[in-house]
Structure 1
Amino acid sequence: MAVEATFSWPTRVYWEDTDAGGVVYHAQYLAFLERARTEWMRAQGYGQELLRLQHDLVFAVRAMQLDFLKPARLDDALEVSAELTECRRASAVFSQAIRRGDELLLTAQVRVAALDAGGFRPRPIPSPLLGELKALERPALERPR
């Protein structure tokens, strides 16, 4: 595997991400989280197009729990983290956070389901990928507070 278990992806808040007052729309945080998970997978050597073409596999969000703590604003430089906390045969759970410097703005738990790319039906994660993902698991009890 190419990267550490905890991955951080930088982003900046643009005008299109905000309301007229310059505060990030609540739904835009979902896009920031999605991009960080996608870049986490890419850093592991498994870009989404590769998974689709070579493994007939896509991941789709199954469930999400968000805790909005503080607002992000226009021009803020953010760090969006992604950490795999659980990997099962056909799903995975990511713990994610969005920070502005030392300030924690949002926490999230995101469960993704493994689906076949053609019919979007549940399917197992291919064994080699499952083994590599399991090696990166970092259960919640092991994470520093």
Structure 2
Amino acid sequence: MIAPAFSWPTRVYWEDTDAGGVVYHAQYLAFLERARSEWVRAQGYGQDRLRREFGLVFAVRAMQIDFLKPARLDDALQVTAELRDCRRASLVFAQAIHRDGERLLTATVRVAALDAEGFRPTPIPPSLYEPLKALETPVQDQLK
């Protein structure tokens, strides 16, 4: 397993921006989603493995976002994802987007564990819950 702190690089392309070259607000959701997906993959549990081996998918249940400063066309961004809380049927992530060390956005994202067949809430299996629980980041250490 890798350390709980995770950073995923991305660049802003035309398709991410409005006519003025500023990142469209909804595009930040895609950046956050990709970073969470890559965090899960880096832990050894890609989305396909979660579905096949655990019968589990995660879906966003709630999100709080603070837009602090805009990202612009061609900016190189770092999107962080840290597991704040591993609960029996959900995960809570603290996320941020930075450009050159400057924080542009912060987010708290709750994802619910769902049965892959029926898309109903389900507990995270113990064989997955315990390793994830061990990756929780204490609140005071998050998003530095």
TM-score greater than 0.5 by the shorter chain: yes
Q: Which residue of 1 aligns with 2:30?
A: 31
What corresponds to 1:54 in structure 2? 53
Change (3 A) 1:20 1:98: same
Gaps of 5+ in 2: none
Letter in 2 for 1:45: G
Cα-to-partner distance string for 1:34-90 (whole Å, 9 max, x where unaligned): 000000000000000111111110000000000000000000000000000000100
The aligned amino acid for 2:107 is: A
What is the distance in 1 between the residues matched to 2:24 and 2:115? Answer: 32
The Cα shift of 1:140 comes to: 1.1
How far apart are the structure 2 equivalents of 1:144 and 1:27? 21
Q: Which residue does 1:87 correspond to in 2? A: 86
Pair 1:5-2:27 in alignment: no
Question: What percentage of aligned pairs have identical amino acids?
Answer: 74
Counterpart of 1:131? 130
Aligned mates of 2:141, 2:79 — CA distance in 1: 20
Relative to structure 1, the CA distance from residue 75 to residue 142 in structure 2 (aligned partners, 3 Å threshold; closer, same or farther) is closer
What residue number does 2:104 align with?
105
Normalised TM-score (structure 2): 0.97
- The aligned residue for residue 120 of structure 1 is 119
Task: Give secondary structure in 2 for the equivalent of 1:97.
Answer: strand
Distance 1:28 1:143 in 2: 23
| 1:67 alignment partner in structure 2 | 66
Backbone CA RMSD of aligned residues = 1.1
1:44 pairs with 2:81: no
Q: TM-score, normalised by structure 1?
A: 0.96
Distance 1:142 1:7 in 2: 13
CA–CA distance in 2 between the matches of 1:58 and 1:122?
10
Task: Measure the CA separation in 2 of the matches of 1:141 and 1:79.
Answer: 20
Distance change in 2, residues 1:75/1:144 (3 Å): closer
